[in-house]
Amino acid sequence: MLYSPAPLHIPDGFLSLVIALIFWGITIITVGIAISKTNKSLGEKQVPLMGIMAAFIFAAQMLNFPVAGGTSGHFLGGALAAIVLGPWAGILVMTAVIALQALLFQDGGLLVMGANIFNMGLLTAMIGFGLYRSVIGRSKGMRLAVAGVAAWLAVVASALVTALQLWLSGTSRLEIVVPAMLGVHLLIGLGEAVITVAALSFIEQTRPDLINEKETAAKGGRGWIYAGIAIALFAVLLSPLASASPDGLERVAEDIGFLAHGQDAPYQILPDYTIPFLGETALSTIVAGAVGALVVLGIMILVGNMLRRKKAHSHQ
Amino acid sequence: MHADAFDRFHEAESRLHRLDPRVKVVVTVLFILSNALLPDGAWAAFGLSWIVLLWANHLSSLGVDFSFRRSFIALPFALAAVSAIFSPLGVPLGDWSIGPLTLIPTDYGLIKFGSIILRSWLSVQAAILLVATTRFPDMIHAFEHLRVPAVLTTIVSFLYRYMFVLTDEVMRLLRARQSRSGSVAGLKSGRSVAWRARVTGNMAGQLFLRSYERSDRIYNAMLARGYTGQLRTLHAHVMQSSDWFFTALSIVIILLLQFTGRI
């Protein structure tokens, strides 16, 4: 099978109309800004380049590597596209890829395409570029490590938001869909991280003119750092909360009145429900999530340093 | 690789093939929207929607069960909706104990689950029929007519044109990897998973550079042929009276479906 669908593409029918339209709204605005930005800053040459880069992402998603027991790791590429091409161009490229996958392969629906572009294009670009932008000018090991963490977080955040959208649409139960989606994508994200790091390190080595401090800084301002860190924090804080204490999240959603708008019939919250939203359990799981992210960061820094040292040896 | 490895267009001479692509795109989106708007458990309306789909299949002269046979692509995702069966709303229909877990399916939950699956299944079939009867460049052109920004449609056109070329490139990379990865049956081959992922990452980097350099050449070649930033098509799309008729008919049918679903 040449083309294997990635597990994050939501088909039509799985999101409620309200949720689908809300995310179409966000996506249209963001992609609109991306178009006007790229129109301003880039020449006509950039359009063919972005088209071929979109084809690159499409083709790169076919690269796989055997993991164990017949399963294989796949590449999604959102973070890599944003780091190499800049956030706005990255968003446009991912939008094109997701649109084509939906139109040609029915991989992801049409009415829910806004949500799919948001999850796999916008989130990954913000996290991928934002975190990477915050460490330009640092050592190569550090940059690669952060790129790896960003790629991992981008996949995890996509999975988390997909799960939340399914829940808000009344399609899935929160306490089932969040752990299931996160569990799978915590692992998929590791493959994504290693591939992104290796690809970046390869490109930096062979074409240092394409990825360097000046290029990256010119492609997106410091605002991306804040956006990226904010969304990454959101994912890190919300994931453990949502999987360990789904009832708390459901109550918050009900308090804001989101649940009533989002679904035809909201889940009933038990009247004798007493666990406070930010109780000890929730807080401890948040800390656990933060620690987990730090551990991954540590591992990635180690791996990055090892890669660099190996390269330094081979140059001698 | 031949270009139709991915192409989903099926050549035929039919009324549906001849329709203006704009009409097909708009009607497909309306049909999917109609599915989303139908309330849970509107089985009659879902059934009628399927009959409409069968009729559209018949019009395409690709066979009445054409879209049905290809409609199972979204099925794995149905797993995400399974948990809706155990909704706390509605009347419990018994309980299943799986280890420490007790699952209580309810009638409300079952109706919800069935409706989600039907909606998704009908929508996927409409989209399948759309790409089977419309050439992809025509469809992109239709989106341009429908005011989708030219930058986006141009990027998608390039993506469509070059994904075949770059897929060939991926095939070459994969073949090269395979031919360098000898293995003996019964012995562990290759190194750790992380190492394999790194090899794949290097392949992704290699693919990126080849694509990047190719895009330079392509741009120069296009400039040489008079590219001014816009892709053109020889198929000038003009709405015929039959196109208007089909649009009106579809809208009436969709309104009827909605009416059936709400009584």
- Identify which of A64, A105, A199 has the shortest CB distance to residue B205: A199
Give the pLDDT of residue A259: 46
Query: Are the beta carbons of B218 and B166 closer than 8 angstroms?
Result: no
* A272 — pLDDT class (breaks 50, 70, 90): very low
* Residue B98 shares a structural domain with residue B210: no
Whole-number percent of chain A with pLDDT over 90: 20
B112 interfacial to chain A (CB closer than 8 Å): yes
Does B90 reside within a domain?
yes
Q: Which of A27-31, A69-73, A226-230 has the lowest mean pLDDT?
A: A69-73
Q: Which residue of A has its CA nearest to B152?
A: A96
* Residue B38 shares a structural domain with residue B166: no
Give the pLDDT of residue B47: 94
Give me the mean pLDDT over the A247-271 stretch.
Answer: 46
Measured in angstroms, the CA of A44 and the nearest CA of chain B are apart by 6
Tell me the pLDDT of chain B averaged across its residues: 85
CB atoms B80 and A198 under 8 Å? no
Is residue B218 scored above 90 in pLDDT?
A: no
- Identify which of A44, A51, A166 has the shortest CB distance to residue B157: A51
Residue with tokens 């309980």: B95
B194 interfacial to chain A (CB closer than 8 Å): yes
Q: Which of A13-27, A203-217, B96-110, B216-230 has the lowest mean pLDDT?
A: B96-110
Give me the mean pLDDT over the A236-260 stretch.
Answer: 62
Query: Are the beta carbons of B162 and A51 closer than 8 angstroms?
Result: yes
Query: Are the beta carbons of A202 and B205 closer than 8 angstroms?
Result: yes
* Residue B108 shares a structural domain with residue B58: yes
Is residue A271 scored above 80 in pLDDT?
A: no
Is residue B129 scored above 60 in pLDDT?
A: yes
Q: Cα separations (Å) of A192 from A60, A208, A241?
A: 11, 22, 24
Q: Which residue of B has its CA nearest to A32?
A: B149
CB atoms B197 and A92 under 8 Å? no
Cβ neighbours of B84 in A, within 8 Å: 170-173
Highest mean pLDDT pick, A6-15, A116-125, A206-215, B94-103: A116-125
* Residue B209 shares a structural domain with residue B91: no
Does B217 reside within a domain?
yes
* Residue B124 shares a structural domain with residue B246: yes
Give the pLDDT of residue B109: 84
Give the pLDDT of residue A214: 75
Is residue B257 scored above 70 in pLDDT?
A: yes
How many structural domains are present in chain B?
Answer: 2
Give me the mean pLDDT over the B207-234 stretch.
Answer: 82
Is residue A265 scored above 60 in pLDDT?
A: no
Query: Are the beta carbons of A151 and A80 closer than 8 angstroms?
Result: yes
Tell me the pLDDT of chain A averaged across its residues: 75
Give the pLDDT of residue A58: 87
* Residue B19 shares a structural domain with residue B35: yes
CB atoms B205 and A44 under 8 Å? no
Measured in angstroms, the CA of A202 and the nearest CA of chain B are apart by 6
CB atoms A104 and B6 under 8 Å? yes
Give the pLDDT of residue A263: 40
Query: Are the beta carbons of A200 and A83 closer than 8 angstroms?
Result: yes
* A60 — pLDDT class (breaks 50, 70, 90): confident
Does B185 reside within a domain?
no
* B76 — pLDDT class (breaks 50, 70, 90): confident
- Backbone φ and ψ of B94, nearest 5°: 110, 180
* Residue B111 shares a structural domain with residue B209: no
Is residue A5 scored above 90 in pLDDT?
A: no
- Residue B38 carries which DSSP code? S
Measured in angstroms, the CA of B260 and the nearest CA of chain A are apart by 19
* A115 — pLDDT class (breaks 50, 70, 90): very high
Is residue A91 scored above 50 in pLDDT?
A: yes
Question: DSSP alpha helices (H): ranges in chain A?
Answer: 17-41, 46-60, 78-85, 87-105, 113-117, 123-133, 140-168, 174-206, 213-219, 223-244, 246-256, 258-262, 280-315
- Identify which of A13, A80, A92 has the shortest CB distance to residue B119: A13
**Cβ contacts from A onto B, under 8 A:** 276
Which pTM was predicted? 0.82
* A248 — pLDDT class (breaks 50, 70, 90): low
Half-sphere exposure of A95 (CA within 13 A, CB side): 26
* Residue B161 shares a structural domain with residue B76: no
- Identify which of B89, B170, B227 has the shortest CB distance to residue A63: B170
At the topology level, CATH places domain A17-265+274-310 in Arp2/3 complex 21 kDa subunit ARPC3 (1.10.1760)
Query: Are the beta carbons of B36 and A21 closer than 8 angstroms?
Result: no
Query: Are the beta carbons of B146 and B23 closer than 8 angstroms?
Result: no
* Residue B28 shares a structural domain with residue B130: yes
Q: Which of A61-70, A201-210, B62-71, B198-207 has the lowest mean pLDDT?
A: A61-70
Does B2 reside within a domain?
no
Task: Name which residue leads in pLDDT, A246 or A303.
Answer: A246
Cβ neighbours of B119 in A, within 8 Å: 12-13
Give the pLDDT of residue A295: 57
Own/partner pairs, A217-224, CB within 8 angstroms, 24+ separation: A217/A133, A217/A136, A219/A85, A219/A86, A219/A87, A219/A88, A219/A89, A219/A129, A220/A86, A220/A87, A220/A88, A220/A129, A220/A133, A222/A133, A224/A87, A224/A126, A224/A129, A224/A130, A224/A133
* Residue B227 shares a structural domain with residue B241: no
- Rounded Cα–Cα distance for residues A144 and A132 (Å): 8
- Identify which of A93, A111, A201 has the shortest CB distance to residue B36: A111
Which residues 286-315 in chain A show a CB within 8 A of chain B? Answer: 303
Which residues 156-215 in chain A show a CB within 8 A of chain B? Answer: 166, 170-173, 176-177, 190-191, 194-203, 206-207, 210
Q: Report the Cα B238 to chain-centroid distance in Å.
A: 26
Does B13 reside within a domain?
yes
Tell me: ipTM over 0.90. Answer: no
Give the pLDDT of residue B238: 82
CA atoms B66, B70, B75, B77: torsion sign: negative
Does B190 reside within a domain?
no
Cβ neighbours of A10 in B, within 8 Å: 77
- Rounded Cα–Cα distance for residues A98 and A134 (Å): 27
Strands A65-68 and A71-73: antiparallel
Give the pLDDT of residue A266: 33
Cβ neighbours of A203 in B, within 8 Å: 205, 208-209
- Backbone φ and ψ of A66, nearest 5°: -65, 130
Which residues 58-87 in chain A show a CB within 8 A of chain B? Answer: 58-60, 62-68, 73, 75, 77, 80, 84
Give the pLDDT of residue A285: 47
* Residue B24 shares a structural domain with residue B98: yes
Task: Name which residue leads in pLDDT, A248 or A14.
Answer: A14
Give the tokens for residue B218.
């392509």
Give me the mean pLDDT over the A52-61 stretch.
Answer: 88
CB atoms A265 and B149 under 8 Å? no
Q: Which domain holds residue B55?
A: 7-134+237-262
* Contact partners, residue B103, CB within 8 Å, separation at least 6: B86, B95, B96, B97
Domain segments of chain A as ranges: 17-265+274-310
* Contact partners, residue A102, CB within 8 Å, separation at least 6: A9, A108, A109, A110, A113, A116, B127
Give me the mean pLDDT over the A50-69 stretch.
Answer: 78
Query: Are the beta carbons of A134 and A228 closer than 8 angstroms?
Result: yes
Whole-number percent of chain A with pLDDT over 70: 69
- Identify which of B40, B194, B215 has the shortest CB distance to residue A49: B215
* Residue B102 shares a structural domain with residue B26: yes
* A152 — pLDDT class (breaks 50, 70, 90): very high
- Rounded Cα–Cα distance for residues A131 and A112 (Å): 28
Is residue B14 scored above 60 in pLDDT?
A: yes
Query: Are the beta carbons of A251 and A277 closer than 8 angstroms?
Result: yes
Q: Which residue of A has its CA nearest to B111?
A: A171
Give the pLDDT of residue B98: 67
Highest mean pLDDT pick, A166-170, A291-295, A299-303, B22-26: B22-26
Highest mean pLDDT pick, A68-72, A247-251, B166-170: B166-170
Give the pLDDT of residue A268: 31
* A280 — pLDDT class (breaks 50, 70, 90): very low
Give the pLDDT of residue A124: 92
Give the pLDDT of residue A276: 35
Give the pLDDT of residue A123: 92
CA atoms B91, A12, B259, B14: torsion sign: negative
B42 interfacial to chain A (CB closer than 8 Å): no
Q: Which of A181-190, A291-300, B156-165 has the lowest mean pLDDT?
A: A291-300
Give the pLDDT of residue B254: 93
- Rounded Cα–Cα distance for residues A147 and A304 (Å): 10
- Rounded Cα–Cα distance for residues A262 and B244 (Å): 36
* B5 — pLDDT class (breaks 50, 70, 90): low
Cβ neighbours of A152 in B, within 8 Å: none
- Rounded Cα–Cα distance for residues B252 and B45 (Å): 14
Best CA proximity match to B80, nearest among A202, A170, A216? A170
